[in-house]
Structure 1
């Protein structure tokens, strides 16, 4: 009897060891991919969905996400192999290529397709028109960055010369813009979410217009990598892009509340209801791309906006810096 008990125990132990080894083996098979995002934002909801819902793991990938403040720092990390993939504005790939990079940066999967900022006024305005900005003090974004270029593009679209028709402030660091407005600087400010909604909730300001709706579709934030990395890791890029596409479907198919719950771990200090509000606002204006394909019309629109702002070093051919082969494959 004792021998039978001992044998049974050994059998159970052996089975447990096999299961444990299999689990460890599965984990070891996941390929590490280092991703650097330019900032932490609800604007990037599909990326966080792909992580929390296990879409990357389903593709055999273990994504190590880090936040690297600033497009220049993010690109430096990519160029120096500190990260494998960068999530940043497409304009950065143009800046780098214009400097004569030996290993071109290729945009391979689009995450957002509109500007993500909103016009916030200090006073409540019921019937806003853009010409109300004339003669005001406007707290804009950093010069040369996509938010500022999109902002100026929209102002010019409405017949406002940013350098002559208003007092344009753009020498404040991105992280301090909201604080400056809350402290009394400016009549209007260009803000990302959730800050815009937080200010509205606290009575600091009022959302009166969307720069995303006004500027049209552009490859605002895109996953990109060095051409050499893409060629050497084509299967990884395809799997990564497929996981992102699954997350894009999730964001549009689920309720705003479900999306908010999915990404909440990345925004522990933000109220879940506020996250849902922001998700719905971005989703309603289709800021989240519905597929990862960066099309040529969007690319040209981006360069038109940069050119209008006087920040386009030179025009770049779509095929030179964009690789849609993976996005097209997973979108079929």
Structure 2
């Protein structure tokens, strides 16, 4: 699902990237577009989501070349279809949800015993992260505590406000806005507790790798460069946020960015390591989310990420400015 144009007698591949919806978790992608990193790699990007396509399924008719997805959806699809897209890079390294209580408290995860949590279903990334934390703390979901994980998304906060649930797991934006309106208090961030558990993966159709490996490499190079520059120069996100996440007010955006940077959300490490992969697949198996076993070798292709790390090096701003000045004066 790519298009090729003539430019200076070179082929310019346009990769169609599905992101479902705009998300702060996708910030390296937006930075790479805004700063021209994809252009540097000789490729174009066309963003697809539910608002600009007729279908809701990016896997139908090979709608997209690259699909941004959470690990649960990715690994489940791989388990039922060996030819499903391969993981080529990690876009966001941590879960991005927040946990709210009705009142401020000295919260501990062990204190969840015998409590009720309004959370996400285990077949979603945030839901599986919550299950991981609960099990890592020595508890068993639905035995040591109750999880309300089947409440429709649009009703969850209303149910919490009405008095159900001791805690509620929300997206960062909804959590911050709920706190500002007095609906609760942010007491924990699952992504900090769970550690390495990627919330967004970049996956690619196998035929795109076969036919346009250079374009795929260019895509990963640009994503890695954005992550690298964001680590050293966090202010670089400002322009991209204004363009792609303008529906969020400035105060909320800034809070989320600061939280996420502190968590290492976009650390410049695009590879998927074996331990993280095995931890996720084992947890999915335990929670009944994996149809049949999947293998690291058959699911992950770290070649592009490794090449990006070896190729793209951060250049301090002052050195870039000196280089630019030298070009100007000849």
CA contact (8 A) 1:142 1:174 kept: no
Distance 1:315 1:262, change over 3 A: same
Find the counterpart in structure 1 of residue 316 from structure 2.
Answer: none
What are the superposed Cα offsets for residues 138-192 of structure 1, whole Å, 9 maximum, x if unpaired? 1110231121111011112223332123332111234543454355542211122
Find the counterpart in structure 1 of residue 315 from structure 2.
Answer: none
2:64 corresponds to 1:83 = yes
Q: Measure, in 1, the Cα distance between the counterparts of 2:93 and 2:119.
A: 21
The counterpart of 2:273, out of the listed 282, 291, 295, is 295
Distance 1:143 1:59, change over 3 A: same
Q: Give 1:229 shift.
A: 1.7
Larger Rg: 1
The counterpart of 1:55, out of the listed 19, 28, 37, is 37
Find the counterpart in structure 2 of residue 14 from structure 1.
Answer: none
* Root mean square deviation, CA, Å: 2.5
TM-score, normalised on structure 2? 0.83
> Comparing 267-276 with 315-324, which one deviates more in the overlay?
267-276
Find the counterpart in structure 1 of residue 302 from structure 2.
Answer: 324
Q: Measure, in 1, the Cα distance between the counterparts of 2:47 and 2:155.
A: 24
Distance 1:186 1:39, change over 3 A: farther
The counterpart of 2:285, out of the listed 296, 300, 307, is 307
> Comparing 230-239 with 297-306, which one deviates more in the overlay?
297-306
What are the superposed Cα offsets for residues 165-221 of structure 1, whole Å, 9 maximum, x if unpaired? 333211123454345435554221112212222222222221111211222212331
CA contact (8 A) 2:17 2:67 kept: yes
Find the counterpart in structure 1 of residue 204 from structure 2.
Answer: 225
The counterpart of 1:144, out of the listed 106, 112, 123, is 123
Aligned residues: 302
> Comparing 202-211 with 179-188, which one deviates more in the overlay?
179-188
TM-score, normalised on structure 1? 0.83
Q: Measure, in 2, the Cα distance between the counterparts of 1:243 and 1:153.
A: 32
Task: List alignment gaps of at least 5 residues for structure 2.
Answer: 1-5, 311-330
Find the counterpart in structure 1 of residue 325 from structure 2.
Answer: none
Find the counterpart in structure 2 of residue 5 from structure 1.
Answer: none
Q: Measure, in 2, the Cα distance between the counterparts of 1:309 and 1:105.
A: 23
CA contact (8 A) 1:259 1:276 kept: no
2:257 corresponds to 1:276 = no
Distance 1:183 1:258, change over 3 A: farther
In proportion to residue count, which structure has more helix?
A: 1
Q: Measure, in 2, the Cα distance between the counterparts of 1:104 and 1:25.
A: 32
Task: List alignment gaps of at least 5 residues for structure 1.
Answer: 1-23
2:245 corresponds to 1:267 = yes
2:132 corresponds to 1:153 = yes
Matched ranges for 1:180-191 at <5 A: 180-182=159-161, 184-191=163-170
Q: Measure, in 1, the Cα distance between the counterparts of 2:162 and 2:247.
A: 22
Find the counterpart in structure 2 of residue 109 from structure 1.
Answer: 89
What are the superposed Cα offsets for residues 30-57 of structure 1, whole Å, 9 maximum, x if unpaired? 4321111133211221111111111112
CA contact (8 A) 1:111 1:223 kept: yes
Distance 1:250 1:182, change over 3 A: farther
Matched ranges for 1:191-230 at <5 A: 191-230=170-209
> Comparing 321-330 with 186-195, which one deviates more in the overlay?
186-195
Q: Measure, in 2, the Cα distance between the counterparts of 1:211 and 1:58.
A: 36
Distance 1:131 1:289, change over 3 A: same
